Amino acid sequence: MALTDSLSGTVKAEIDIDLARTGEGGHTGVDKLGKKLTLSLTDGSSSNQATGFFSESFAMTTGGITISLGEATTPIAGADCNPTEDPDGKDLRAILIHNEDDTNYVTVTTGTNALSGWLGATDEIIIPAGGFLLATFPVDQVTLDATGDADEIKITADTASCTCLVSYIFG
């Protein structure tokens, strides 16, 4: 019997904050900020569907590291890590970049062969030390294309090399 993969899961972003208040005359209470967004994914290649993923922590350098999101083997040059299946021709559904360093920030830009549909040619996103970026793409908007490497993002460390976790889902 052949092995069959079937992907399912959720991508969640949540803010759950309580602000306890006390005041003169015994006034007390709690103000709440609660927001939860969820992208539910089922197996497939249409909107809100995915078939594979990639996740790896690796060192970012001050010269920048290029990640080819559509590559089936070694999307990160020099790193021995592969996605669960070939992402070429599939659509990006979510990406999480976590700067695991406690001192340096990193900058996310397009690579030489830019991933289109998300970042523009001059866009930069700074992820502070300890911070993370989560973006979702539930509809077919960002297609990964390993042909000619037209699927690249670049992550550059500020003043010293630092470790980042990069995870992305596609289908």
Give the pLDDT confidence of 51-78 residue by residue, as tens digits: 999 999 999 999 999 999 999 988 987 6
Q: Which residues contact 39 (CB under 8 A, 6 or more apart)?
A: 10, 11, 12, 48, 93, 94, 136, 138
**What pLDDT is attached to residue 15?**
96
Please tell me the distance from the alpha carbon of residue 166 to that of residue 143, in angstroms, as a whole number.
18
Q: What percent of the chain has pLDDT over 70?
A: 97
Q: Are 91 and 141 contacting, i.e. CB atoms less than 8 angstroms apart? A: yes
- 157 pLDDT band (50/70/90 cuts)? very high
What CATH number has the domain spanning 46-170? Answer: 2.60.120.10
- What would the mean pLDDT of 31-42 be, rounded to a whole number? 95
Beta carbons within 10 angstroms of residue 105's beta carbon: 17
| Domain spans, the chain | 46-170
**What pLDDT is attached to residue 1?**
62
Q: Are 83 and 144 contacting, i.e. CB atoms less than 8 angstroms apart? A: no
| Summary count for the chain: helices (H), strands (E) | 0, 11
Helix (H, G, I), strand (E, B) or coil at 29: strand
Beta carbons within 10 angstroms of residue 132's beta carbon: 13
pTM as predicted: 0.91
**What pLDDT is attached to residue 130?**
98
Please tell me the distance from the alpha carbon of residue 89 to that of residue 83, in angstroms, as a whole number.
14
- What would the mean pLDDT of 35-56 be, rounded to a whole number? 95
> Could you tell me the CA-to-CA distances from 148 to 3, 11, 68, 82, 113 in Å, in that order?
31, 30, 10, 18, 7
